């Protein structure tokens, strides 16, 4: 973080999905509720949380693959979405700047297209290559960049292993030379020995091209490794946001604490001797979330106030934000 310029700013972002329930009754899944954060240019912001907490929805809403319900998104100084002022810019030119890497590499590559066609499609849509030769050259360069053999351009996705397929997905995202990439669980589907290869490659690409990542994953140890700062989500809310070392060493929110203590450590003596905070019960449904602080149903320290009032995200240390009534009380 040499350059402390904010690339992406998100304010009070909300995303509700309508669901039908009964006759003429409409209900909403409140997937993302009041999310505010920013990402500096060149940094990696990690987003962790359990399944169903809205991290994928938030990631997709930021680049407007899902149209947000309300809120404000600013990209590189220009607002690209603002529900209050009614701003909603055409996204085509921004798609060159923001890209997405998907979780399941085999499901996100068209099985009937060759690797060259998959990567070339992005070049064609944005008219990046002037002629056929340049297009070929560019595809070869991209494959080389992600550590694949340049002769693989004529093969189909099923001929590759999971790790290689994910590399193709990354090459496709890189084809338009983006500045900002949302990585939605890019390594969860991969084997342990392959995960580290892909993580290293993503770090190299970031350094080389000055990329900014929003890295979404449920594996806290991987997120800690790759991120500069980490946001923790629970049921649509960002409950804590801090620098990654600070968050793992000095968590403040009770949910973050239990999440960290639940991560299995590859160290038998340490993992058996440490004290764990085991949460009771399950995540409530986002269709009918609890009142007040959404964590109060599982929080061991919950007070009356937590059931009534929604805690705001406030600063509790330099760059450390937490949404909990009980902090400093």
| Cβ nearer to other proteins, comparing 125 with 277 | 277
Q: Calculate the dihedral angle through the C-alpha atoms of 316, 320, 323, 325, rounding to the nearest 10 degrees.
A: -20
**Residue 110 found at the interface with other proteins (CB under 8 A):** no
**Residue 291 found at the interface with other proteins (CB under 8 A):** no
Q: Which stretch binds other proteins (CB under 8 A): 25-33, 271-279, 300-308, 321-329?
A: 271-279
Q: Which stretch binds other proteins (CB under 8 A): 27-35, 66-74, 88-96, 277-285?
A: 277-285
Whole-angstrom distance, CA of residue 96 vs CA of residue 246: 34
| Cβ nearer to other proteins, comparing 81 with 213 | 213
Whole-angstrom distance, CA of residue 303 vs CA of residue 299: 9
Asked if residue 173 lies in contact with residue 109, where contact means CB atoms within 8 angstroms, the answer is no
List the structure tokens of 152: 């693989």
Number of chain residues interacting with other proteins (CB under 8 A): 44
Per DSSP (E only), the strands in 49-135 are 70-75, 78-82, 87-88, 98-101
Q: Which stretch binds other proteins (CB under 8 A): 84-92, 110-118, 150-158, 160-168?
A: 160-168
What is the Cα Rg of the chain in Å? 21
Whole-angstrom distance, CA of residue 93 vs CA of residue 129: 16
CB of 301 to other proteins, least distance (A): 16
CB of 219 to other proteins, least distance (A): 8
Which parts of 35-64 interact with other proteins (CB under 8 A)? 50-51
Q: Calculate the dihedral angle through the C-alpha atoms of 139, 190, 251, 9, rounding to the nearest 10 degrees.
A: 30
CB of 305 to other proteins, least distance (A): 24
Among 3, 67, 110, 191, binds other proteins (CB under 8 A): 191
**Residue 220 found at the interface with other proteins (CB under 8 A):** yes
Among 87, 89, 248, 326, binds other proteins (CB under 8 A): 248
Which DSSP state fits 184? E
| Cβ nearer to other proteins, comparing 69 with 166 | 166
Whole-angstrom distance, CA of residue 325 vs CA of residue 306: 7
Beta carbons within 10 angstroms of residue 242's beta carbon:
26
Q: Calculate the dihedral angle through the C-alpha atoms of 121, 127, 129, 132, rounding to the nearest 10 degrees.
A: 70
**Residue 144 found at the interface with other proteins (CB under 8 A):** no
| Cβ nearer to other proteins, comparing 125 with 262 | 262
Residues of the shown chain interacting with other proteins in the complex, contacts defined by CB under 8 A: 50-51, 161, 163-164, 191-197, 199-200, 203, 218, 220-222, 224-226, 245, 248, 258-272, 276, 278-279, 282-283
């Amino acid at each position: 973080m040499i350059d402390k310029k904010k690339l992406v700013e998100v304010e009070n972002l909300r995303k509700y999905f309508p669901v039908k329930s009964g006759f003429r009754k409409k209900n909403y899944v409140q997937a993302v509720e009041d999310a505010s954060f920013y990402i500096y240019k060149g940094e990696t912001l990690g987003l962790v949380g359990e399944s169903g907490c809205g991290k994928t929805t938030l990631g997709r809403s930021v680049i407007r693959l899902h149209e947000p319900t309300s809120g404000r998104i600013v990209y590189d100084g220009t607002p690209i979405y603002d529900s209050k002022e009614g701003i909603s810019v055409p996204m085509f030119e921004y798609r060159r700047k923001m890209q997405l890497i998907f979780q399941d590499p085999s499901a996100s590559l068209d099985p009937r297209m060759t690797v060259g066609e998959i990567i070339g499609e992005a070049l064609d849509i944005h008219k990046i290559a002037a002629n056929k030769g340049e297009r070929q050259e560019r595809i070869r360069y991209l494959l080389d960049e992600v550590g694949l053999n340049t002769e693989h351009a004529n093969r189909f996705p099923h001929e590759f292993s999971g790790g290689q397929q994910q590399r193709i997905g990354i090459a496709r995202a890189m084809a338009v030379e983006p500045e900002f990439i949302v990585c939605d669980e890019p390594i969860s589907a991969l084997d342990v020995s392959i995960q580290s290869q892909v993580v290293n490659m993503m770090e190299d690409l970031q350094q080389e091209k000055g990329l900014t990542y929003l890295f979404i994953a449920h594996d806290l140890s991987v997120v800690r490794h790759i991120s500069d700062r980490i946001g923790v989500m629970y049921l649509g809310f960002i409950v804590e946001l801090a620098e990654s070392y600070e968050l793992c060493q000095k968590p403040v929110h009770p949910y973050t604490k239990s999440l960290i203590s639940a991560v299995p450590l590859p160290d038998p003596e340490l993992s058996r001797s440490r004290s764990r905070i085991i949460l009771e019960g399950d995540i409530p449904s986002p269709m009918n979330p609890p009142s007040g602080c959404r964590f109060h149903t599982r929080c061991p320290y919950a007070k009356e106030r937590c059931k009534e009032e929604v805690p705001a995200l406030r600063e509790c240390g330099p760059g450390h934000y937490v949404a909990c009534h009980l902090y400093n009380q």
